[in-house]
Amino acid sequence: MWLEDYKYKQMAYTINKTDGSVIATITDGTVDNTTSVQLFGKSFSGFGEGLNENLVKLLENSAGTSQPTGPLTGELWMDTAVGQLKVYNGTSFEPTGGAKSQSLAPTNPGAGDLWHDSDDDQLYVHTGSAFQLVGPVYTAGQTLSGWKIETIASSGGNKVVSSMYAGNTRVAILSKEDFTPSVTQTGFATIKAGITLNSTLGAVFDGTNTQASFINVTGTSNTSSTVIAGGNFLRADTADTTTGALTVDTNGGVIIGDAQELSITVSSNDVTIAQTSEDKDLKFTVNDGGVTKTPLQLTGADGGVDITGDLTIVGNLNVSGAYNYTSSNIVEHTDTFLKVNAGGSEADAGLIVETGDTDDARLFYDVSANQWVAGQAATYSQVITLLDAVADGNSTKEAVLKTTAAGLVTVTNVNLAAVGSAITTSDTSSLSVPTIGQVATFGNLWGGSAKFVQTGDPSGSDGANGDFWFKYEA
C-alpha cells in the first residue's frame, strides 16, 4: 500500500569533514558545488555522471592550470602550468615536497618548507622561525659569484679545484698541487698549489698580512708599477744590490758593523756620522792607480784629523788654534796673499822668527803708527818703502831722500868730506867728481882747456871741444 506522506517526506544529508565540522547540508534532489567535487542529495536524478567525474578528479588531483574552487585543507592539485603537485594549506596551494616558487616568501610556512625566490632565483628552507638561504649565494642579477667546485683537465690527469668567481668571472683558483691545464683557462696558464690569481685582471692580494712565510726571488720582471717581483726586494740574509735610491726615513738612521761601530743619525736636522768603538779610527780611503790610500783619517785615540796628500781649499781657512809644523820648514804660497788679522779689528800683525833666546825677531805692521816696523828684543824701527821717501828734504825734514823723475834732490845743506881728485889739464872725458877746492878755483883749467871771456859770441873756430866761453856786457 502506497503512502503518499512517505513519498514526499524529505531527508537532507549533512556532510562532515574529518575534524567533524559540517561542510554542507544537502536537501533531497539537489547537488552541492561548494567544494571541488559535486555532493549529491537524496534522490538526485543523474548523480551517476557527476559521481564518476568526482572520481576522475580525485585520480588526476584536479589537474589543470587553474586551482580548484572551494578547496579544502589538505586537498591536492596538480598544477599543469608548472608541472607541480601542490597541497592546500588552508590559505593557498604550496608544492608538496618541493619549493613554492614566487617573489615573496610564503605566509604561514612550516618547518622544512621550501621557497624558491622567483626574483633572485634562490632557494630557501624554513627553519620553523624564518626562511634560511640554501643557495646559490648569489642572486640571478649578480650572476655566478663565490666558490665553485670544478674539474680541470691536465696532462697529469683531471684536477679537482675550487674556483672563485665574481660577477661570472673566475678571479682565482684554489688547488692542492701545481699543474698546467691541457685546456686553455683564461688567465691561468699555470696553476700553483695554493691560490692562483687571474693574470688578465691584474688581481692582487690587498690588505693587512701579519706574516708572509716566503717570497719568490727568482724573477725580477714586475707585473705592473704596483705589483713588484720578489727578485726586486733587498735581502737581509746575503749581500744584495739596488739600482734605486735608498731612503731611511727615520732619525735612527743607518747602523753598520758586526759590533755596530758606524752609525749615521739625525737630530734636529743635524747629521752625525759616528765611529762608536773606543779609540778606533774613521778612515776615508781612495784607489790611487790600484793602490789604496787614506787621504783623510779621524783618529779615535786623540780626536785628531790626519790628512795625507795635497789639500786644496776653495774658500777661507779659519784657524782658531796654533799652526804647527813638523816635517817641513818651508811654507809655500803661489800667486796669492797671506792675510792675517782678518775680520776688521785693529791689532799689530806680522811675522815672528823664534831664536835661541827670548829675543824673537819680528816684522809686523804697527797699526798705531800706520807703518811697517822690524826689530828684535822689543826694539823696532820703521821699514822704509819708496812711498816713505821724499824728493824735497828741505820741506820734509828727517825723511829718507829720493830723486825726482828728473833725477833731482832738494836739501837744506850738505856737509861733505873731500871727494874726487884734482882736474888734470888733459882729461876732457873724466866724469869724476872734483873736490870742493877744485870747484871753487874756477879759474883753473878744467878738462885741459882754457876759459875765454869776451863781449862777443864765439865762432866755430874759437877754442876746442870742452872749452868754456863767457860773454859779458861791455
Give ∠ CA 178-181-183 in degrees, rounded to 5: 175
Task: Give yes or no: residues 170 and 222 share one domain.
Answer: yes
Class of residue 307 by CB neighbours under 10 A (exposed 0-12, middle 13-18, buried 19+): exposed
Number of structural domains found in the chain: 5
pLDDT averages per 10-residue partition of the chain, 474 residues = 52 83 87 87 85 84 89 89 84 78 85 88 92 92 94 96 96 97 96 96 82 82 83 89 90 91 94 94 95 94 91 85 70 74 80 81 89 88 86 85 88 73 56 54 45 72 69 70
Q: Tell me: the pLDDT tens digits for 11-45?
A: 788 888 888 888 888 888 899 888 888 888 888 88
Residue 389, in any domain of the structure: no
Point out which residues pair with 390 in neighbouring strands: 401
339 assigned to some structural domain: no
Report which of 37, 62, 36 is spatially closest to residue 47, judged by C-alpha positions. Answer: 37
Q: Are residues 273 and 259 in the same domain?
A: yes
Instruction: Decide which of 183, 206, 238 is a domain's last residue.
Output: 238
What range does the domain containing 303 cover?
A: 284-313
In a domain, 117, yes or no: no
Beta bridge partners of 271: 266
| 170 occurs within a structural domain | yes
Grid cell at residue 348? 799689530
pLDDT at residue 328, as a whole number: 63
- Separation between Cα atoms, residue 460 and residue 216, nearest integer Å: 123
User: What is the per-residue pLDDT across 272-286, written as a single tens digit (0 to 9) for each?
Assistant: 999 999 999 999 999
Task: Check whether residue 233 and residue 148 sit in a common domain.
Answer: yes
Query: Do 307 and 371 reside in the same domain of the chain?
Result: no
263 and 187 fall within a common domain: no
Are 151 and 231 contained in the same domain?
Answer: yes
In this structure, is residue 368 part of a structural domain?
yes
Strands 31-32 and 39-40: antiparallel
In a domain, 79, yes or no: no
Rg of the chain over Cα atoms, rounded to whole angstroms, equals 67
Residues 208 and 276 in one domain: no
Same structural domain, 181 and 158? yes
Q: Write b or e for each residue in 446-466: b if 16 or more Cβ atoms lie within 10 A of its Cβ, otherwise e.
A: bbbbeeeeeeeeeeeeeeeee
pTM metric for this prediction? 0.38
